Amino acid sequence: MIKKLIRSILGKGKKDAPGASGKSGAATEPDVLGPKQHGIDPALVSPNAVRVTQTLQEAGFKAFIVGGAVRDLLLSVKPKDFDVATNATPEQVKQLFRRAFIIGRRFQIVHVMFGQELIEVTTFRGASAESAPKDEHGRVLRDNTFGEQHEDAVRRDFTINAMYYDPATQTVLDYHGGIADIRAKKLRIIGEPEARYREDPVRMLRVVRFAAKLKFTIDPASSAPIRVMAPLIDNVPAARVFDEMLKLLMSGHALACLQQLRKEGLHHGLLPLLDVVLEQPLGEKFVTLALANTDARVKQGKPVSPGFLFASLLWHQVLEKWRAYQAAGEYPIPALHLAADDVLDAQTEKLALQRKIASDMRDIWAMQPRFERRVGKAPYKLLEHLRLRAGYDFLQLRCESGELDAELGEWWDAFMNGNGAEREELIARKPADASSGPAPKKRKRRGGRNRTKSGGAATDQGGDDAAPAGAEATSAPEQSVPEPSGEAPAASGEAPKRRRRRRSPAAGSDVAPAGDGE
């Protein structure tokens, strides 16, 4: 009541300054810009988005294309998706379209499907009710309050996302000086920044994404609270944080976004230890190459695998733990799986990595030792792996960053592109002892006595580790058995033969699956 009285005294019909802070100080009358003023090309507008606005308007409702689509249109960029805002309720919208689905818990929206294209329709949101459920930090949990268009403009996060385009009249409604901010390349939050970040901490990630993607500067008032309020992101559901991080990393400006994250102090907790990795020469070069390649693929319209992207970002954490497990006496292959478990378990709490993505990451990591086995049948078996291309690209990144010898990447490039005779020549040219790395030494240190005590489990680990490139049952046991652990040989001369006959079947049965299951 007091706020309404003050507004009436100051002048009810007077429009507030664009971008005025505080929700109660919102502009109630927008600037209206015609085609010559805004310069939007109608050819860039989705026909299905026009169809949705037209259908709603013919039914007597207001309807506008809104948000990021209008921002991109003003920048002469074809939007990837289109959102529509209307004064129709979700139920009224659903009745007007054959393939329409109401979704959302915090705020209901309608997805209208046209083949593979999805148009998201939202009802104008009203001023956030004080009674809306919030957590102890002030984050709004659920708010289905509908309202007028000027109230909806206040509820939007940034001035550049609070404009409405009507395809029928080709006019743009600008409530908060969004067009002026676009021309000034400035990113400014609507209202009081601290309160808006507290309502929805994900807005801090969105600030970073838009600033990096659009190459805009963040308004100082909008940037100031971020570093202090960054811990609030920990209170956001992990699945929502993951969705926002995925948008950030697959925006085509992933490297710039990551640099902006660090600049604003938002990287802690999202990708733990990533800042440490980026301070190491090899780690920084590897991550930089991975993100640059991802950005290039996005800009070329090529598909990008989230599993490959996250596998790249977290690789040096896996690598560090892998080496630690091996230093503690673990076999290389089991050590790699343990390292992957540790890293994924830590990340799942923060990012809620989907099971499919986590599975792809494991496959890519687990393939890396197999690329070093270049004799026998092992290279041919690796060609049959479903994730071969992703694993191969990952290997090339490791070589390009200097983590591995470039010769390994060149060998696999020739092998994958060669014919049968060329592949046989490559395999024959590679010394057998160089393909299995330190595995034979590990077997000498661990010894046959340990394998006998622990039975199948230890033998299976040894099989994964020591199997030479081909993982062939006929040759692998002969290489692993003659020197059990550096112990003195038996005196009779018969014992070695008996041990070889008795243990060869077990070794053969464990070694063979190693080539198939990795």
Instruction: Tell me which residues are annotated as active site.
Output: 81, 83, 157
- Contact residues for 427 (Cβ-Cβ < 8 A; gap 6+): 374, 375, 376, 379
Structure tokens at 441: 């030494």
Return the residue matching tokens 């926002």: 244
CB atoms within 10 A of CB 113: 14
CA dist 186 and 71 (Å) reads 12
Q: Which residues pair with 189 in a beta bridge?
A: 158
C-alpha distances (whole Å) from 315 to each of 242, 338, 377, 396, 398 are 18, 13, 27, 14, 10
Q: Are strands 109-114 and 117-123 parallel, antiparallel or unpaired?
A: antiparallel
Structure tokens at 109: 């929206």
CB 266 within 8 A of CB 226: yes
> What is the DSSP code string of 153-193?
HHHSSBGGG-EEEETTTTEEEESS-HHHHHHHTEE-BSS-H
Q: Are strands 171-174 and 31-33 parallel, antiparallel or unpaired?
A: antiparallel
Looking at the chain, the number of H-run helices and the number of E-run strands are 28, 10
Burial class (CB within 10 angstroms; exposed 0-12, middle 13-18, buried 19+) of 8: exposed
How far, rounded to the nearest angstrom, does the alpha carbon of residue 395 sit from its chain's CA centroid?
20
Nearest to 331 by CA among 439, 247, 252: 439
Return the residue matching tokens 């949101």: 125
CB 27 within 8 A of CB 150: yes
Nearest to 410 by CA among 428, 426, 424: 426
**Residues in the chain, overall count:** 518
